[in-house]
Amino acid sequence: MKKRVLSGIRATGRLHLGNYLGAVKGMLELQNNPEYETFYMVADLHTLTTPFETKDFQSKIKDIVLDYLSAGLDPEKCALFVQSHIKELLELTYLFSTQVTVARMQHIPTFKEKIKQYPKNVNVALLNYPVLMAADILLYKATFVPVGIDQEPHLEIAREVARKMNEKFGTDFPEPKRFITKGDYVPSLTGEGKMSKSISGSSILLTDSLETIKERLAKTPTDLGKGDKVPDSGGVNTLLTLVEFFEGKDKRENYEKDYLKDGIKYSSLKEELAEAIYKELKPIQERRAKLERDPEYIEKILKEGSLKATKVASETLLEVKKAMGLV
């Protein structure tokens, strides 16, 4: 039997280079490897744990689907669906939540961050976020999960749940591992923290034009361009990291040599980098433009993806219910 893979992204806005390099690239690699059966979704239920707009929720969901497909997810190779369409998921989430302590959930770093970010919105679903994610993954008995490094604490919970269920109820869940890509931590354009949808000015979107990319890079803070140690944090580090991803390791090393010797001219570095990023994004944007004109096609593949996912999900749920003595 093929090994299974599951991943998802919340519907909080269009994808940026961090999402692309940290998650989507890994999703593509596994989709194209015939040893794996891949399940990819839009995590709409997880989106509800932080403040959201009802009005444009559907279009936010479609945005992720469009970004996925234009980046190369192929519905012939993977099942593509919307998380909430799989009814079995919430039942499994409830069953798993009986096996996880409140204290364990309160110690998850992402929960602590979200409490700080939204102190007036500390809802029960936020606390249960990792349990829903564990159910997402284990519903398909996935062994690999392509996500960025920030999701590691959630994967740890999924492994703990798998272990506990297997020990206590004799189920056969695998312990899922993160599928690691080179870009699993893309730093922010602001020079502080990671590139993120929720930090303004931190990211470049897959849909950005060349002009916008240039404008965004122009704002990245730099230094004199010269010194006796190449910075390993801040704006210069972000630029060099992006150079490595889009122009290659050699190019980065050349800039590093320049930094230690004659100095870097940031205006030309940014110009070249913008061109290199846009070169990779252009075909993605062209595919997106076509897909945007075909909403029926999108509906059709989501329906097919749901059917495929539901088949696996219903088998797993029945196994768990039997194992727990519910049926």
Q: Does the footprint of ligand ADP cover residue 61 (CB under 6 A)? A: no
Task: Report the alpha-carbon distance of residue 174 to residue 293 in Å, rounded.
Answer: 40
CB of 44 to ligand ADP, least distance (A): 12
Task: Report the alpha-carbon distance of residue 9 to residue 7 in Å, rounded.
Answer: 7
Q: Does the footprint of ligand TRP cover residue 11 (CB under 6 A)? A: no
Q: What would the two tokens of residue 229 be? A: 């140690």
Task: Report the alpha-carbon distance of residue 35 to residue 272 in Å, rounded.
Answer: 38
Task: Report the alpha-carbon distance of residue 15 to residue 61 in Å, rounded.
Answer: 11
251 binds, among ligand ADP, ligand TRP, none (CB under 5 to 8 A by kind): none
Q: Which of 4, 5, 8, 95 binds ligand TRP (CB under 6 A)?
A: 8
194 binds, among ligand ADP, ligand TRP, none (CB under 5 to 8 A by kind): ligand ADP
For residues 183 and 245, the answer to whether their CB atoms sit within 8 Å is yes
Q: Does the footprint of ligand ADP cover residue 19 (CB under 6 A)? A: yes
CB of 305 to ligand ADP, least distance (A): 19
For residues 313 and 83, the answer to whether their CB atoms sit within 8 Å is no
- Binding characters for ligand TRP, 36-65, by CB under 6 A (x = yes): -------x--x-------------------
Task: Report the chain's terminal Cα–Cα distance, integer Å.
Answer: 27
Sign of CA dihedral 310, 311, 314, 319: negative
Q: Does the footprint of ligand ADP cover residue 22 (CB under 6 A)? A: yes
Closest of 118, 117, 154 to residue 137, by C-alpha: 154
18 binds, among ligand ADP, ligand TRP, none (CB under 5 to 8 A by kind): ligand ADP
197 binds, among ligand ADP, ligand TRP, none (CB under 5 to 8 A by kind): ligand ADP
Nearer to ligand ADP, 163 or 182 (CB): 182
Distances (CA, A) of 188 to 16, 149, 192, 199, 292: 11, 14, 6, 9, 29
Residue 253 host element (H or E): helix 249-260
Q: Does the footprint of ligand TRP cover residue 147 (CB under 6 A)? A: yes
Residue nearest to ligand TRP (CB): 43
Query: Binding residues for ligand ADP, per CB under 6 A?
Result: 9-10, 12, 18-19, 21-23, 147-148, 150-151, 183-186, 194-198
Query: Binding residues for ligand TRP, per CB under 6 A?
Result: 6-10, 43, 46, 133, 136-137, 145, 147, 151, 154
